[in-house]
Amino acid sequence: MKSKLIKAGADLRRKQANPLPVMEQFYTLQGEGIWTGTPAYFIRLAGCDVGCHWCDVKESWHPGDDQYLQIEEIVVRALASGTDRVVITGGEPTIYDLSLLTKQLHEAGLKIHMETAGVHPLIGDIDWVCFSPKKFLKPQPEFYQKASELKVIIFNDHDFPWAEEHAEKCADHVQLFLQPEWSRRNKFTAKIVEYAKANPHWRVSLQTHKYIDIP
Ligand code: SF4
């Protein structure tokens, strides 16, 4: 299963930068991390080779043939939302060469954020990188420097020391967040709050969009 996912990811990486597979795109609020509450247009690329067992968008792992969109179309739709900010997410966006997409988004005057597990070298120009490493596929070392924020998902108690290992490798400017995995929020939110109080280099991130039932 895992090796099949990694092979599928390698096949996707060999593809051109245009068109790109988009699972969905929508205008909403950023629900997590330091930009919580900020309106942004989300571009969810399809394709992921990380394979988190608790993933809440497993339908994004394998792009469908009918999901490919020309970059010009993606940019037009983002601009039509009226926002000045997009979030490229996935799936795992570093599978793709994003240079053309980010060039055209910037030329349209949009700021670009990215949510990534950082498992492949970043190809593209991103203004804000939310780096969320996963245990299931090792991140590229470059993300400890390129990250603007580090967001570690807490699924069990072992994830606290694992989060510290990643925080130690990050550049000083990186904002550090712990976030409960949604299905475990009842067990871990209070623990994360106590952990952040005892270790104030961390802040708490919640999936606020899920609490208020927006995309
Ligand atoms: S990296 Fe993201 S999209 Fe990929 S499996 Fe993990 S949670 Fe799901």
pLDDT (tens digit, 9 = 90+) per residue, 137-167?
A: 999 999 999 999 999 999 999 999 999 999 9
**Which residue has its alpha carbon closest to ligand 1 atom 1?**
50
Q: How many angstroms is it from 73 CA to the middle of ligand 1?
A: 25
User: To 10 degrees, the CA torsion angle through 113, 119, 161, 56?
Assistant: 70
CATH fold, domain 2-151, is TIM Barrel (3.20.20)
Q: CB of 92 closer than 6 A to ligand 1?
A: yes
CB-based burial of residue 99 (10 Å sphere; 0-12 exposed, 13-18 middle, 19+ buried)?
Answer: middle
- C-alpha span between 126 and 124 (Å, rounded): 6
The verdict on whether omega for the bond into residue 19 sits within 30 degrees of 0, i.e. cis, is yes
* Per-residue model confidence (pLDDT) at position 24: 97
pLDDT (tens digit, 9 = 90+) per residue, 118-132?
A: 999 999 999 999 999
Q: How many angstroms is it from 109 CA to the middle of ligand 1?
A: 29
Number of alpha helices (DSSP H) and beta strands (DSSP E) in the chain: 7, 9
**In the chain, what are the domain boundaries?**
2-151
pLDDT (tens digit, 9 = 90+) per residue, 82-109?
A: 999 999 999 999 999 999 999 999 999 9
pLDDT (tens digit, 9 = 90+) per residue, 107-118?
A: 999 999 999 999
